[in-house]
Structure 1
């Protein structure tokens, strides 16, 4: 004969079930998962610029955050946080500590490949989730307006005769974006790139400050980082690294025009922590795709000299694999790979 359970036992089971249900709901709320629909963020999104203010990463983070917020393309506020140091490694280390956290993103560019290849970071691009590639821009090779070097050939000639005689500032670490952009250009001009004195700073803003302060003889930085100073007459742009002239630095010749067979595009994009779900990646991928088509973004890109080069998560991941292989070869050629 079947006998019902005592009321006390029944109550205990019910209470336990309720506790488990509440715990599940709490966990669901913490991740923003609804269980039966697309994922959406449930709290502000911490948006890391792995460098100081004023540089390319900072500009990209603040510009994209503003457009995403103002165009209502994300459901929570994007809060930009600067974490400078190590050519980006400090910021990457921070993100790596928050695996599977969908409320943290960071802006990125070639240093995510170059710094690890040079042995300067514990993390590699494989430790993160690609979200989207957004744009490209050229590097600019600059000197102070009163510098005796009027052309890139003038600078290269001096470096040929005495590679250690000049110092060149860059906004990324040894073996990283600006360093490789410099090394590749001077090597193509016949200079022993391994002997050129490269002085790293945390971001293009700091590199330009060093140049203007007379602490270095030249600098290399993204075109958008030097445009204001070039227009004010504070610096002279000797050349840009792209195949065609930059829309925001139309008077600056390309390296090719200067007789140097070297082209280097700076791509920029967004990544997140490792372990994000397909739904979380899709949410951000869709937001950024809509962002690059928005009038406000188009207007800002024109001012900053950015060229739209959107790739979704999967395509961006393949691009990173290809770039990693290519840049590994460049670092080896100029003696920078460890």
Structure 2
């Protein structure tokens, strides 16, 4: 989605035929268990009180955490964005007190939640997530973010554009069977993935076009992207 503006690849979702949206790993706004922030409002109030001082770790330019940090800036929260080499390093920075909060994926955070080392203040979503009862969606406290959603980072199955229809039908049938399999459903529940396999074909492409628009323009306006989205005909969100 952001590869073209970042100068990583000339490929886009237009070069593929989407089959089905599978799942996404919810991003979490996470603080250390030792943090004075007990709820998301505490964190937001501190960011407003100390602009440019409250630090957020993320896993490098263009990564999902970076996008979320830029969106916070977009709605007037002057967060100090601190890049690290990956999600694990960003989490370790949180646990080591180098930053005040991070935006982490659910699956690798579960162990830290179970051990009591971290506290989840909000889910990066515009709706509640069943796996985190009582934890508010970020749009509940920052409703101005609603216009950018849906903005999850889902996994989906794609094939090369021009793949014969009969081949796509076979693959789609197999994919539907897979996401209905009890073993798959149990796995998804275990790692707290959110299912999205109701989206197929053109609906998947529509989702990614919206995602590409939001993310590409955020990165470009932040001075991170190498190319303007206009070069690729990507409209502003």
TM-score where L is the length of structure 2: 0.74
Provide the rounded CA distance (Å) in 1 between the counterparts of 2:135 and 2:110: 11
Q: Which residue in 1 is equivalent to 2:48?
A: 160
Q: Which residue in 2 is equivalent to 1:122?
A: 9
Provide the rounded CA distance (Å) in 2 between the counterparts of 1:231 and 1:115: 35
- Give the deviation of 1:140 after TM superposition: 0.7
Residue of structure 1 aligned with 2:155, choices 268, 271, 281: 268
Residue of structure 2 aligned with 1:183, choices 40, 57, 70: 70
1:136 and 2:20 are equivalent in the alignment: no
Q: Is the 8 A contact 2:69 2:81 kept in 1?
A: no
1:324 and 2:212 are equivalent in the alignment: yes
Provide the rounded CA distance (Å) in 1 between the counterparts of 2:159 and 2:57: 29
Residues 228, 252 of structure 1: CA spacing in aligned structure 2 closer, same or farther, 3 A cutoff? farther
Bigger CA radius of gyration: 1
Provide the rounded CA distance (Å) in 1 between the counterparts of 2:39 and 2:137: 11
For 1:188-199, what aligned pairs fall within 5 Å after superposition?
A: 188=75, 190-192=76-78, 196-199=80-83
Residues 329, 227 of structure 1: CA spacing in aligned structure 2 closer, same or farther, 3 A cutoff? same
Provide the rounded CA distance (Å) in 1 between the counterparts of 2:85 and 2:159: 24
Write out per-residue CA displacement over residues 86-133 of structure 1, whole angstroms, 9 at most, x where no aligned residue. Answer: xxxxxxxxxxxxxxxxxxxxxxxxxxx13443x151243245554432
Residue of structure 2 aligned with 1:298, choices 185, 203, 218: 185
Equivalent residue pairs, number: 220
Write out per-residue CA displacement over residues 1-58 of structure 1, whole angstroms, 9 at most, x where no aligned residue. Answer: xxxxxxxxxxxxxxxxxxxxxxxxxxxxxxxxxxxxxxxxxxxxxxxxxxxxxxxxxx
- Give the deviation of 1:308 after TM superposition: 2.1
- Give the deviation of 1:141 after TM superposition: 0.6
Provide the rounded CA distance (Å) in 2 between the counterparts of 1:225 and 1:252: 18
Q: Tell me, what secondary structure is at the counterpart of 1:312?
A: coil
- Give the deviation of 1:175 after TM superposition: 2.8
- Give the deviation of 1:212 after TM superposition: 2.3
Provide the rounded CA distance (Å) in 2 between the counterparts of 1:135 and 1:246: 13
Q: Tell me, what secondary structure is at the counterpart of 1:249?
A: coil
Q: Which residue in 2 is equivalent to 1:145?
A: 33
Unaligned runs of 5+ in 2: 227-237
Residues 286, 206 of structure 1: CA spacing in aligned structure 2 closer, same or farther, 3 A cutoff? farther
TM-score where L is the length of structure 1: 0.55
Q: Is the 8 A contact 1:248 1:303 kept in 2?
A: no
Residues 248, 205 of structure 1: CA spacing in aligned structure 2 closer, same or farther, 3 A cutoff? farther
Write out per-residue CA displacement over residues 54-74 of structure 1, whole angstroms, 9 at most, x where no aligned residue. Answer: xxxxxxxxxxxxxxxxxxxxx
For 1:1-338, what aligned pairs fall within 5 Å after superposition?
A: 113-117=1-5, 119-126=6-13, 127=15, 130-171=18-59, 173-188=60-75, 190-192=76-78, 196-202=80-86, 204-263=87-146, 264-271=151-158, 277-310=164-197, 311-332=199-220, 336-338=224-226
Q: Is the 8 A contact 2:26 2:152 kept in 1?
A: yes
Unaligned runs of 5+ in 1: 1-112
Relative CO higher for 1 or 2, CA cutoff 8 Å, sep ≥ 6?
A: 2
Aligned-residue CA RMSD in angstroms?
3.0
- Give the deviation of 1:278 after TM superposition: 4.5
- Give the deviation of 1:169 after TM superposition: 2.1
